[in-house]
Structure 1
């Protein structure tokens, strides 16, 4: 009898594991394209107004996510609250004026500039056409022009679309002008095709330091290099014309020095606002004092005038993935498949402002971070990477697989092979990655505390990135569901294995 029992044990163990495996697959099947679409249509819909941190739209989104967590039967993750409130501080432009030879021009019709306080006066300018400069191609619109101590006026390239490449080009041009002794750059643009200028500055967790109070005199940039965007009407006045030169005709104006009295005034103030992380908890059983985090950021860029930045992929997709995984784990628990470790489902805000929400949580955690087995972070999982020419959508970028824990990759790769079978692309895990993706989402603030992380990401950095066109209709829900199921299965294994993940690999990344 005993011998027979012993002989049966391996078979019984195999059957038990198979049953557990079947249970995981059954509840992962709740993460469907249709369920994801229903939720994302709400979270990235017009009523949420782009979910900018500390805005009414973000607060609506937080309330909706809280309601979702409650409906699944999750416990509040911050004492008796589902929200962890935190303060943010923001500069706001409260007054601005621009005059040329005593004539006052109109904000957002004739000029715009960054958030700063101060008064600037200039009286000599250098016009340099389109300001093209490429030493490799022997192109230099600044040849023969004395830039020292002058403000340089350039024309915006016709049809230019502001993006990463364009911004990098402007920065390179500013560095070149600084090296020539210029003190500022005014870019002539078509304001009829520009979105309203945001008069709010960046956000931060700390209040302004003493001596740097809002409203004090300050330079427009740390380099003391002044930049602004002006209309053809302002440019015409700087060139001494009494009538406005058509924008298309400005290219015919002679390059060289011009004289006019330009005065600029700006005042800013600093306001304290409030945002929140939304946290739902599924208590564990035998290892309930150990934790597995599933995270994503629900904030985006908000509105600019009446233009909404919907943020369907960034990061409506990851946040909805977390919410749907929470529903699947909660359903499993109700069916008698509670995780050994406590699951913490957290959607954070402030990511687009500098990872503020996750930074606040890492400094004010609701649990002992030394007992956190892992953070699985999803930020953009709903689309394809336009740089993968001819490739299918059947992939996901995985960041963190060879960092902090040697357990991460084997678990993730095994569940992928067993359940999902998509390509796991590790290219962004290269320490030399120029995009520095490892530092650019909320997992980073867990990694700083030594928590093993995996970051799941689709790489969508194309024309819709941080644009109003990142909309729900462009999400590919079939692959989004597969990616979320991969995270679910990885979380299931980490939550139910006997030991916490090892913390046995130094973080082999350059300093931030």
Structure 2
């Protein structure tokens, strides 16, 4: 008798589940599969695409590939008849010059400047002397600046260490101690500071790469205002060879001065009569890079003005010349070739539904964005220059890394992190979880679904540029692995069945959103408090 009741209950539950599922949604989801995922990702994450760096050949190739796919499946070109939305990105390199006693010093061999420390206005100074002030310490019982006037002078100090202590290795450098030294000099109106750091003598290749890298930003008012903030004080870091060239003006050298300070137990500041001239300025260059947009118009005349936006970033970090081993290309198969692939698969499924007369009631904008790795630049540009009014955008579903997993899920990869789904809209959270339960049944891990997560994932992908405008979002993410931002993020390591399954979750969620009776209600403020 109990068995019969249980069996009847099971049939009833199965019947309810079948009713809840939309047969058309299931039918057109079939092209979202591991084979089609491989077809796209094996191209986008190939060595030929050189890591898809923003503003470089591989990035342009990826944009063209995505455009051709959107075109081939019949999506409309919504940017004045084009699929590309140009993003106004500029890069800033550094023009720098340093001469000592009329002789030019060589950047990255004799000295360096931190690129982000130089404002748009740059700096220039021409000094006839340098004040050597030892370790730049200002303790109660030891003051390198005792009886010294600092204002208006170029001051040279050891970047780190104390009298009698050995030179620290790079791993032991105390940035807070350095900042305290710089703060003192700024407050006492030094003209500039020269930091002596032995790391310049044998600079690691990765450090050189960083110092040579160009900072990218949107050319908008916010960026211009930030860059126009004048520099508090020029900071130049030099090696020991150049320091000794300066000290030769006083017939001394570093070893002699260190010994004198250590043996005497007291500071030994001195004015060195030697000319030091320096200048630096930002060099701006236009970066060619585009968001790629494909538009599927809704079928309901009353609802098609409402837009669901599905995003993934197609850029990655390009080539790392100093990477260990022979492989220098950061293919970005998971980050975010997998998300881009997901967008392409979902777009094709909806396009086929529309051609069969089963298209969504609301419109869907499929958008792969550029410049995410440079600071969410492409999505920020779209949010400031939307092709469709943001007030008509009902939700953003953002896919960033869905092809692998993390160590927390090594025993079961049937999961995806969802972030942001309940931050602004209880409706969206309910719809997304219902779609999962009805169609896919993936473990939805909400470990990072909060604003105080130390990793700050809620703020680190393109959905945030929609959320900050009050648009509900869901961010789909498989977590960070050992190959994150490394050449090892290869196609061979992708779990294609799970990539397809996660993409299907986004697809079914999109189906529910695009065909629902009403758009998700925004019932929470950006800080999570209920809207009144």
Between 1:143-152 and 1:448-457, the stretch displaced more is 143-152
* Separation in structure 1 between the aligned mates of residue 33 and residue 465 of structure 2, nearest angstrom: 30
* Separation in structure 2 between the aligned mates of residue 467 and residue 100 of structure 1, nearest angstrom: 40
State the match for 1:366 in structure 2: 387
Summarize the Cα distance change of 1:80–1:234 in structure 2 as closer, same or farther, 3 Å threshold: same
Matched, 1:151 2:157: yes
Among 174, 179, 186, the residue aligned to 1:175 = 179
Deviation at 1:375, TM superposition (A): 0.7
State the match for 1:477 in structure 2: 496
For residues 400-458 of structure 1, the C-alpha deviation after alignment (integer angstroms, 9 at most, x for no partner) is: 12222111222222222233333222232223223332222221221233221111122
Between 1:66-75 and 1:436-445, the stretch displaced more is 436-445
For residues 56-77 of structure 1, the C-alpha deviation after alignment (integer angstroms, 9 at most, x for no partner) is: 3322221111011112221112
Summarize the Cα distance change of 1:385–1:20 in structure 2 as closer, same or farther, 3 Å threshold: closer
State the match for 2:97 in structure 1: 97
Among 102, 119, 122, the residue aligned to 2:124 = 119
* Separation in structure 2 between the aligned mates of residue 257 and residue 391 of structure 1, nearest angstrom: 63
Matched position secondary structure for 1:224 = coil
Gap runs ≥5 in structure 1: 1-10, 132-142, 161-165, 246-250
* Separation in structure 1 between the aligned mates of residue 143 and residue 333 of structure 2, nearest angstrom: 47
Task: Select the structure of larger CA radius of gyration.
Answer: 2
Among 444, 448, 470, the residue aligned to 2:468 = 448
For residues 322-374 of structure 1, the C-alpha deviation after alignment (integer angstroms, 9 at most, x for no partner) is: 11211222233334431121111001112233322222222222223222221
State the match for 1:163 in structure 2: none
Between 1:302-311 and 1:417-426, the stretch displaced more is 302-311
Deviation at 1:125, TM superposition (A): 5.6
Aligned 8 A contact 1:178 1:225 in 2: no
* Separation in structure 2 between the aligned mates of residue 473 and residue 232 of structure 1, nearest angstrom: 47
State the match for 2:279 in structure 1: 265
State the match for 2:414 in structure 1: 394
Summarize the Cα distance change of 1:234–1:83 in structure 2 as closer, same or farther, 3 Å threshold: same
State the match for 1:40 in structure 2: 41
State the match for 2:233 in structure 1: 224
Summarize the Cα distance change of 1:491–1:208 in structure 2 as closer, same or farther, 3 Å threshold: closer
For residues 90-124 of structure 1, the C-alpha deviation after alignment (integer angstroms, 9 at most, x for no partner) is: 3222x333445655443344544333333356845
Deviation at 1:489, TM superposition (A): 1.4
Summarize the Cα distance change of 1:112–1:458 in structure 2 as closer, same or farther, 3 Å threshold: farther
* Separation in structure 1 between the aligned mates of residue 36 and residue 387 of structure 2, nearest angstrom: 30
State the match for 1:52 in structure 2: 53
Deviation at 1:472, TM superposition (A): 3.3
Among 263, 278, 281, the residue aligned to 2:295 = 281
TM-score if structure 2 supplies the norm length?
Answer: 0.74
Summarize the Cα distance change of 1:437–1:338 in structure 2 as closer, same or farther, 3 Å threshold: same
State the match for 2:527 in structure 1: 508
How much is the aligned-residue C-alpha RMSD, in angstroms? 4.3
Aligned 8 A contact 2:416 2:477 in 1: yes
Matched, 1:491 2:510: yes
Among 422, 425, 445, the residue aligned to 1:425 = 445
* Separation in structure 2 between the aligned mates of residue 475 and residue 76 of structure 1, nearest angstrom: 31
* Separation in structure 1 between the aligned mates of residue 174 and residue 93 of structure 2, nearest angstrom: 24
* Separation in structure 1 between the aligned mates of residue 62 and residue 330 of structure 2, nearest angstrom: 14
Among 172, 197, 202, the residue aligned to 2:216 = 202
* Separation in structure 2 between the aligned mates of residue 361 and residue 319 of structure 1, nearest angstrom: 17
State the match for 1:66 in structure 2: 67
Deviation at 1:209, TM superposition (A): 8.8
Deviation at 1:30, TM superposition (A): 2.4
Structure that is richer in helix per residue: 2
* Separation in structure 2 between the aligned mates of residue 150 and residue 18 of structure 1, nearest angstrom: 77
Summarize the Cα distance change of 1:209–1:421 in structure 2 as closer, same or farther, 3 Å threshold: closer
Q: How does 1:368-387 map to 2 (within 5 A)?
A: 368-386=389-407
Summarize the Cα distance change of 1:227–1:107 in structure 2 as closer, same or farther, 3 Å threshold: closer
* Separation in structure 1 between the aligned mates of residue 344 and residue 468 of structure 2, nearest angstrom: 25
* Separation in structure 1 between the aligned mates of residue 330 and residue 174 of structure 2, nearest angstrom: 23
Aligned 8 A contact 2:315 2:373 in 1: yes
State the match for 1:411 in structure 2: 431
Matched position secondary structure for 1:438 = helix
* Separation in structure 1 between the aligned mates of residue 433 and residue 43 of structure 2, nearest angstrom: 33
Matched position secondary structure for 1:382 = coil
How many residue pairs get matched? 469
Summarize the Cα distance change of 1:170–1:284 in structure 2 as closer, same or farther, 3 Å threshold: farther
* Separation in structure 2 between the aligned mates of residue 187 and residue 40 of structure 1, nearest angstrom: 45
Aligned 8 A contact 1:446 1:453 in 2: yes
Aligned 8 A contact 1:82 1:278 in 2: yes
* Separation in structure 2 between the aligned mates of residue 157 and residue 464 of structure 1, nearest angstrom: 31
Matched position secondary structure for 2:68 = helix
Aligned 8 A contact 1:184 1:227 in 2: yes
Matched, 1:356 2:377: yes
